[in-house]
Amino acid sequence: MKMAENVKASQELLTRCPKRCQGPSTTRQPLVVSRKLYSRFVDYTTENARLAEIADKEVQRLSDLKDASYEVTKDWNDAIKNLQRRRREELLSKKEKAEQARIKFAKDMAVKNAVERAEIVKEARKLLFYKKPQCRLINSALFTSETYRELHAQLAFRKKLRGIELERDNMYAELLKKDTEDFFRKEKEKAEQRLQRTRNYAIELKKQIEDTKNHLKKLELYDAKADQEDLDNMQKESKMIEECEKEQIRKKKEYLKKMFLEQLEEKKRVEEKMREEEDIQNRSIEAYRNTREHLNQITKQKWKEEQENKIKRSEMLAKKCATAFETDDTEEEERFRRAAADKNKLEEEKAQAKRQFQEKMRVDMKRYEAEAAALKLKRELEEKNLIEWETHQRYKRDEYNKEMQVKAAKEGERRKKEMAEFLKKQMEEQRAIRKMESIMDDDSQEIQKAIQRTNDRVLAYGEEVLEESKDIRPLFPIIKAIENFKRENRLIPLKTAETMEPVKRKRRVRKICSNPTPPEQIFYLG
């Protein structure tokens, strides 16, 4: 770092005095620098020596500290060595203890294995002894006794199961009976309710019919009264109309008469005027006959046209009068027609209302009949479903009974096969026993002693099995097997043959009739 600063300072120096530092010069000039820069140059030149001196001082200081610490700790114990030694001793002691425990465990296991091996050998010898033909009889008796015990347990279980099934069937029958009673009771209640509803509906329907009849009677009376009033009003109106029409006709006739008179008077005036004009024209014609012939013709033609027009006007007036008379008659007929149409319309409305009421009653009766038919059909369906359900239950019960019978038959066949195999095996064992007996029929003393020991062991085993089976399984097969073994090996004395004494028979006494029939009273048939 200092070296870099010195280099930087020298570069600054060169930049400040480029002419002085551009190379050797013939003239010597003094170097002018600052004190700080000069100190840096000095430090740069003496840096190695100064660093070496600092390093020597540090080495001397560390050696002095080491000597001082050695002088202080030369009399102390070494804790690390003590710790290592203690750990080594603990490891050695642990290894010794583990070795001792292992040796002790090996000795204990050897003793235990020896005891277990002795027990195993004893059990193996016992099992081998149990496999001997003499013990097989007791084992078979034990198996038979166990079979009887299982059979008795199965019979008890079946009896209990049968009782449970019987109880369940009784409960099911009671439940079914109760459900049936409830069903019939509910059906009876429903039928009573339906009957009550039907009765109420019939009463309500009768009441409605009566009300409707009364209402219809009232309506008929009201309609009759209204019809009578309408008829009276119509008669009054018709009278008034007739009077008005008569008055109008009279007025029209007077008016027409007046018009005709006026027309006649007008016609007379016109005719008089025409006659006057004709006279004037005749006089004019007479005066100007020679000069105005053509004018007279035109005048005559005009006069004819006027006459025709007058005639046409008269005819039109007559037609108008006739049309007025016809119009009055048509209006009167139209009024009568409207009155009759109104009356017919009112009667049709009454008939329509009556038909609607009858149609409504018919629809109500049909609906009631449909509801009754639906209820009857529903009841029949429910009865049919109940019968089908009972039939299905009986069918399922029969299927279940058949399945149980098939299972029982299969179980019986399996047991018979097992019993046949067991009997076959027992017969083979009996053959082996008889063969062994034939071999051991030798009367030597050693053989007799061995046989006696074997018999004692077999009897001890039998007694052990008998004691073990008390209050657990039936003892009859085991006792019977022990007795058979004793009898076969002549361990019990044989029974002496008992002398058979003949059975004393009662002497037959001939019966004699105490009241015989005399020969003369005997009657022979045939």
Top-confidence residue, 122 or 431: 431
Pair (278, 360) in one structural domain: yes
237 C-beta neighbours (distance < 10 Å), count: 14
Residue 169 within a domain: yes
User: Which pLDDT value is given to residue 22?
Assistant: 46
Rg of the chain (C-alpha set): 79
- Domain region containing 54: 2-20+32-72
23 has a pLDDT exceeding 70? no
The count of domains in the chain is 3
Q: Which of 30-39, 45-54, 413-422, 512-521 has the highest mean pLDDT?
A: 413-422
**Domain check: are 173 and 259 in the same one?**
yes
Same domain, residue pair 203 and 337:
yes
Segment 103-131 mean pLDDT: 80
Least trusted range by pLDDT, from 214-218, 450-454, 517-521: 517-521
Cα(19)–Cα(15) distance, rounded to whole angstroms?
9
Asked, for residue 422, whether it belongs to a domain, the answer is: no
CB atoms within 10 A of CB 188: 10
What is the model's pLDDT at position 134?
Answer: 66
Residue 84 neighbours by CB distance under 10 Å: 11
Question: In angstroms, rounded to a whole number, what is the distance separating the alpha carbons of residues 138 and 485?
Answer: 9
In a domain, 89, yes or no: no
pLDDT of residue 210 exceeding 80: yes
Q: Are 436 and 451 in contact (CB under 8 A)?
A: no
Note whether 277 and 315 are same-domain residues: yes
Q: What is the pLDDT of residue 271?
A: 75
Overall average pLDDT of the 170-196 stretch: 83
The reply to whether 12 and 117 lie within a common domain is no
158's tokens: 């079946």
Q: Which of 42-46, 61-65, 285-289, 454-458 has the highest mean pLDDT?
A: 61-65
Specify the pLDDT at position 147.
82
The pLDDT tens digits of the residues spanning 284-334 come to 666 656 555 666 666 667 677 776 776 776 667 666 655 554 555 566 667
Structure token pair of residue 283: 């006089």
Amino acid at 329: D
| Confidence check: pLDDT of 502 > 70 | no
- Tell which wins on pLDDT, 331 or 432: 432
Q: What is the pLDDT of residue 3?
A: 47
pLDDT, residue 12, reads: 56
450, part of any domain: no
Question: pLDDT averaged over the chain?
Answer: 74
Q: Indicate if the pLDDT at residue 17 is higher than 50.
A: no
- Answer for the pair 299, 281: CB distance below 8 angstroms, yes or no: yes
Domain end position, chosen among 393, 412, 431: 412
480 within domain boundaries: no
Query: Residue 62, by phi and psi: left (phi above 0), alpha (psi -120 to 50) or beta?
Result: alpha
In this prediction, residue 287 carries a pLDDT of: 62
The predicted structure's pLDDT at residue 18: 44
CA-closest candidate to residue 459, choices 434, 478, 436, 432: 478
Q: What is the pLDDT of residue 40?
A: 73
- Domain-ending residue, one of 397, 412, 427: 412
Q: How confident is the model at residue 67 (pLDDT cuts 50, 70, 90)?
A: confident
Average pLDDT in the 211-221 region?
A: 79
Checking if the pLDDT of 163 tops 50, the result is yes
Question: What is the reported pLDDT for 501?
Answer: 54
Task: Give pLDDT, residue 2.
Answer: 47
Answer yes or no: pTM beyond 0.75.
no
Per-residue pLDDT, 317: 64
Q: What is the pLDDT of residues 75-104, one digit of tens each?
A: 666 667 777 878 888 888 888 888 888 888
Distance CA 387, CA 517 (A): 72
- 101 & 197 share domain: no
Residue 515 has pLDDT above 70, yes or no: no
Residue percentage of the chain with pLDDT more than 70 = 71
Q: Per-residue confidence at 521, pLDDT binned at 50, 70, 90?
A: low
Instruction: Give the model confidence (pLDDT) of 354-397 as tens digits.
Output: 778 778 777 877 777 788 788 888 888 888 888 888 888 888 88
Claim to verify: residue 257 and residue 378 sit in the same structural domain: yes
Q: Does 239 share its domain with 348?
A: yes
Residues 15 and 117 in one domain: no
Confidence at 30, pLDDT banded by 50, 70, 90 = low
Q: Quick: pLDDT tens for 245-281.
A: 778 777 877 877 777 677 777 777 777 777 777 777 6
What confidence tier does 192 reach under pLDDT thresholds 50, 70, 90?
Answer: confident
Specify the pLDDT at position 84. Answer: 80
Does 155 lie in the same domain as 206?
yes
Same domain flag for 151 and 215: yes
CA dihedral 422, 428, 432, 434 (to 10 degrees): 100
Question: Within this chain, do residues 230 and 116 fall inside the same structural domain, yes or no?
Answer: no
